[in-house]
Amino acid sequence: MRINTILTRIALLLLPVLLWGCDYGNVIQGRVVEFNKETGIITFIKEESHDRKNPRYTALPPVTMRMPKDPHEIGPLPTPGGRIELNVKDNFVLVYDHDAKNFKKIPFTPVDIMTDVGRSHPMVAGKTFPIIEKDKRTVQVYSGRQRLLAKFTVDDDAIQLPDNTWIAGDEVRIFYKEEGQAARFMNITLTDIYKK
């Protein structure tokens, strides 16, 4: 038997032993529902579908992590929000209820639903959403991911909710090795990973 074959077999036998105990880290993705800039603590709802085109932010309980210690590992800071899902097929908004630590489904009546609306569209560009008219009980929101501009009415209780209830928190991706401590933070809502 040739020496190269023997060395290769020994290397293959030793490889699992050498790799055992190595921690390469983990990646987690979520939608931000709370962010404390002073403490650097971020709370988000974990994505569980692993479908890049149709993510599902529905895993409870929320995940809480501390931002990376190295400031060079932190991308644009996140904007938190309560809106988890905007469903114009079944006419509801799924929001995260901080007090109940659970989701709440808010039904709505559509007023105007526009599809295929890009961020540069005149109805969206330069505007800040949500646009809330409490006297008319209307809320207008924009979803860049869905390319959807939706205006709808809600009941008296829902229109009294805080404005950030209707904001979709930024989508983030975090690399970590230690539970509760991010090693790298990326705001994928504000970062175009395909831009050259």
Closest CA to 56 of 85, 78, 35, 28: 85
Instruction: With H, G, I as helix, E, B as strand and everything else as coil, classify residue 145.
Output: coil
From residue 54, alpha-carbon distances to 51, 57, 145, 146, 168 in Å are 5, 10, 9, 9, 15
Tens digits of residue pLDDT in 121-165:
999 999 999 999 999 999 999 998 899 999 999 999 999 999 999
pLDDT at residue number 191: 80
Helix, strand, coil distribution of the chain in percent, nearest 5? 15, 45, 45
- For residue 12, the 8-state DSSP code is H
**Number of domains composing the chain:** 2
Q: Is the peptide bond before 130 cis (omega within 30 degrees of 0)?
A: yes
pLDDT at residue number 110: 97
Q: Please indicate, yes or no, whether residues 75 and 130 belong to a single structural domain of this protein.
A: no
Number of C-beta neighbours around residue 6 at 10 A: 10
Determine, yes or no, domain membership for 16. no
> What does the alpha-carbon distance between residue 196 and residue 25 come to, in Å, rounded to a whole number?
27
pLDDT at residue number 50: 74
Q: With contact defined as beta carbons under 8 Å apart, do 143 and 151 qualify?
A: no
Q: With contact defined as beta carbons under 8 Å apart, do 68 and 120 qualify?
A: no
Determine, yes or no, domain membership for 196. no
Domain assignment of residue 147, given as a range: 83-166
Rg (CA), the chain: 22
> What does the alpha-carbon distance between residue 21 and residue 106 come to, in Å, rounded to a whole number?
46
Q: Please indicate, yes or no, whether residues 124 and 156 belong to a single structural domain of this protein.
A: yes
Q: What is the CATH number of the domain that holds 58?
A: 2.40.50.320
Q: Please indicate, yes or no, whether residues 33 and 102 belong to a single structural domain of this protein.
A: no
Determine, yes or no, domain membership for 4. no
- For residue 107, the 8-state DSSP code is E
Q: Please indicate, yes or no, whether residues 131 and 143 belong to a single structural domain of this protein.
A: yes
Determine, yes or no, domain membership for 52. yes
Determine, yes or no, domain membership for 60. yes
Q: With contact defined as beta carbons under 8 Å apart, do 42 and 78 qualify?
A: yes
Q: With contact defined as beta carbons under 8 Å apart, do 77 and 35 qualify?
A: yes
Please say if the pLDDT value at position 6 is more than 90.
Answer: no
Tens digits of residue pLDDT in 48-100:
877 777 788 989 999 999 999 999 999 999 999 999 999 999 999 999 998 99
pLDDT at residue number 21: 53
Closest CA to 79 of 144, 138, 133: 144
Chain mean pLDDT for the chain: 88
